[in-house]
Structure 1
Amino acid sequence: MNRNYILIALLCLLCISRVAAQSVTVEAKIDSLQIWIGEQAKLQLQVAMDAKQRAIFPAYTDTIVPGIEIVETAKPDTQFLNDRQRMLITQEYTITSFDSALYYIPPIPVTVDGKVYKSKALALKVYSMPVDTLHPDQFFGQKTVMKAPFAWEDWYGLLACSFIAFPLLGLLIYFIIRIRDNKPIIRKIKVEPKLPPHQAALQEIERIKNEKVWQKGQPKEYYTELTDAIRTYIRDRFGFNALEMTSSEIIDKLLEIKDKDAISDLRFLFQTADLVKFAKHDPLMNENDMNLVNAIDFINETKQPEEENQKPQPTEITIIEKRSLHAKVFLICGIVLLSAALVGTFIYIGLQLYELFA
């Protein structure tokens, strides 16, 4: 018998816990029950239910009841309670009214798992502004249209476009003139004069002397540069290609032109250079200096007298070219782009002026 009582008691507790777990409460409240016309109030709707349940709030559009308008509907706020076994959902509406009256807000329905639950009814009193009709002089008529104060900020865009428009217009006019005249392009190029052969050769020998390659244990490089300078001088001075000839061929050719005394020292220079290049001959220090002096003496003895004091003057060459198709296409494209930019700029300036003075 006692066991039956215990079993019945347990069943009752289980039923009570299920009912408590499935209980749903819906509560509605307003933060202010009295407002002025046009003033706003907050209507809050709260639903407490199990975490596994799903609630559907009423879908209001513009009004809750005729006369009470919805200004804004906030996003629902969800809070979990009792170790996430329960949850509290809060939905907030911002409401207002523009007619003075006492408004009745009926219970708000909320559907939870297919079952409708309702809140308690609410009331909202809307007051109109008191007007003293006995003193009409306190009212003022419609004010005249006021002129907006001057502000530089309104003119920044207009001024910037104006400064841009003038250079674009000048460039457009220049392009149009260039494409209409179709004159050839005249260019003047200044050509630096070429030094006389003996001056160029002496400069090169001076460079070789200052570098002192033979003192660095490089006699082959020294004699190669020295003989190349002499070969270049002979080519420019006597008119035959000494750079492509052997030492003996150069000497034979020079003997046909000059006297033997002027060429004897040069012959010794070429012979020493050939020994250094092909026989790995290591000349003495005074021998290197003597060959350098021989090269200078040969140049001074064979240079043209009229070139000794000659100071070459730079020459200026005038080149006349017809305007190419590429230049014409460039000018035409430039004219089109500049025209489009100017049209857009003037349209913008016109719209800005219209907005400022309209």
Structure 2
Amino acid sequence: MKRYLFLITLLTALTGRIIAQSVTVDATIDSLQILIGEQAKIKLQVSLDTDKRAILPAYTDTLVRGVEIVDIAKPDTQMLNDGRRSLITQEYTVTSFDSALYYLPPMEVLVDNKAYRSKALALKVYSMPVDTLHPDQFFGPKPVMKAPFAWEDWYMSIACAVLFVPFLLLLIYLVKRIRDNKPIIRKVKVEPKLPPHQLAMQEIERIKGEKVWQKGQSKEYYTELTDAIRTYIKDRFGFNALEMTSSEIIDKLLEMNDKNAISDLRILFQTADLVKFAKHNPLMNENDANLINAIDFINETKEKEDENAKPQPTEITIIEKRSLRTKILLGAGIVALTAALAGSLIYIGLELYNYFA
């Protein structure tokens, strides 16, 4: 029985020790001795369970009096034991400008509001040894030397000076434009519209040149040909033949024109309807005859005019007031150019001042 009690007591003590050592804090320094102005790195490592929260020590600019902190690196966390443990590493870069032996106190880390401390460290700082028996080996202070002239340093200034004049002229032009505020006068040439029969003949010549009926495309041929005639009738006689059937067009034309001129047109429309709706396949001479019928109808019904007279284009004068958008653009251009010119002058002046100062 005493043996069992001893074993239980021993296991309890070991368990308590393991729990007590579940958080470890260790601090090391990479160099115990440095010269004045040199740097040393202090590494702080905290090992703890992943479910615990650690707060590392926060320093401002000094670790202790005489030892300054140059840099504090970001903490680095490593996962250990399949993610059950964490190792947090924090590096501090320190230096000193006074020769002495410095005692670096333990670093305190809070883990779940419980303080854990590392071991203390020491840092010995030595002054630079000076050979007073040979002072000639040290050189005295050098005077301030003027940098040699280099064209590369003046490229920007030269560019600003070259662009200054055209920018200034452009600024003057924009200022005059916005101050004048005169209406904009534009002259537009309007080409006269060809008479209906000339437009129709141009379209028929195009259809004749393509010769689509020779490629077996009779439906396309008669569709284009009748559309050209319908457009001519609409422009020549003033009713919308494009929206009317063939018989309606013929009846409308009979009311206002000669029956002889319409007889050939009736044959053209009848053939076109057979091709488009009854899949009629006309012969080659039939296609040519309908093309001639369309031309004869146009020639017999066109308005009489002088064929040698060529219509002259007319010129229209349009007066427009300057829009608000144009005024805004002019104002923005003036502001931008003014700023660019002022900046160029300031830049060139500073460069000259720095060079001759």
Specify the alignment match of 2:99 in structure 1: 100
Aligned partner letter, 1:21: I
CA distances 1:109-147 after superposition (whole Å, capped 9, x unpaired): 455566655444433221222234444443222431533
Aligned partner letter, 2:13: C
Q: Is the 8 A contact 2:226 2:269 kept in 1?
A: no
Specify the alignment match of 1:251 in structure 2: 258
Specify the alignment match of 1:31 in structure 2: 30
Pairs within 5 Å for 1:215-230 = 216=218, 224=226
Unaligned residue ranges in structure 2 (runs of 5+): 239-248
RMSD after superposition: 4.9
Closer, same or farther in 2 for the Cα pair 1:305/1:8, shift >3 Å?
Answer: closer
Compare CA radii of gyration and give the structure with the larger one. Answer: 1
Specify the alignment match of 1:185 in structure 2: 185
C-alpha displacement at 1:43, in angstroms?
1.9
Q: What SS is found at the alignment partner of 1:140?
A: coil
Q: What SS is found at the alignment partner of 1:14?
A: helix
Q: Distance in 2 between matches of 1:74 and 1:15?
A: 39
Specify the alignment match of 2:320 in structure 1: 323
Closer, same or farther in 2 for the Cα pair 1:269/1:5, shift >3 Å?
Answer: closer
C-alpha displacement at 1:355, in angstroms?
4.4
Aligned partner letter, 1:139: F
Closer, same or farther in 2 for the Cα pair 1:320/1:10, shift >3 Å?
Answer: same
Q: Distance in 1 between matches of 2:5 and 2:51?
A: 29
Q: Is the 8 A contact 1:78 1:87 kept in 2?
A: yes
1:22 to 20, 23, 37: 20
Q: Is the 8 A contact 2:236 2:302 kept in 1?
A: no
Specify the alignment match of 1:255 in structure 2: none
CA distances 1:184-210 after superposition (whole Å, capped 9, x unpaired): 514141525736x77566545545655
Pairs within 5 Å for 1:47-196 = 47=46, 56-79=55-78, 88-110=87-109, 118-137=117-136, 138-147=138-147, 150=150, 152=152, 155-156=155-156, 169-179=168-178, 180=180, 182=182, 185-189=185-189, 191-192=191-192, 194=194
Q: Is the 8 A contact 2:200 2:228 kept in 1?
A: no
Normalised by the length of structure 1, the TM-score is 0.67
CA distances 1:149-181 after superposition (whole Å, capped 9, x unpaired): 63647745x667677766655554444444527
Report % sequence identity: 41
C-alpha displacement at 1:311, in angstroms?
5.3
Aligned partner letter, 1:11: T
Closer, same or farther in 2 for the Cα pair 1:68/1:148, shift >3 Å?
Answer: farther
Aligned partner letter, 1:45: L
Specify the alignment match of 2:246 in structure 1: none
Greater shift, 144-153 or 345-354, is seen at 144-153
CA distances 1:279-323 after superposition (whole Å, capped 9, x unpaired): 99x999767766765776787789999835x15264342x23333
Q: Is the 8 A contact 2:262 2:297 kept in 1?
A: no
Q: What SS is found at the alignment partner of 1:353?
A: helix
Q: What SS is found at the alignment partner of 1:342?
A: helix
Closer, same or farther in 2 for the Cα pair 1:272/1:218, shift >3 Å?
Answer: farther
Greater shift, 270-279 or 84-93, is seen at 270-279
Aligned partner letter, 1:123: A
CA distances 1:43-98 after superposition (whole Å, capped 9, x unpaired): 23345566666655443322222111111223444556666676554433211001
Specify the alignment match of 2:337 in structure 1: 342
Specify the alignment match of 1:259 in structure 2: none
Aligned partner letter, 2:345: G
Specify the alignment match of 1:258 in structure 2: none
Q: Is the 8 A contact 1:67 1:99 kept in 2?
A: yes
Closer, same or farther in 2 for the Cα pair 1:26/1:164, shift >3 Å?
Answer: same
Q: Distance in 1 between matches of 2:33 and 2:253?
A: 121
C-alpha displacement at 1:9, in angstroms?
2.9
C-alpha displacement at 1:234, in angstroms?
7.6
C-alpha displacement at 1:334, in angstroms?
2.7
Q: Distance in 2 between matches of 1:34 and 1:22?
A: 34
Unaligned residue ranges in structure 1 (runs of 5+): 237-241, 253-263
Q: Is the 8 A contact 2:250 2:262 kept in 1?
A: no
How many residue pairs align between the two structures?
333
Q: What SS is found at the alignment partner of 2:97?
A: coil
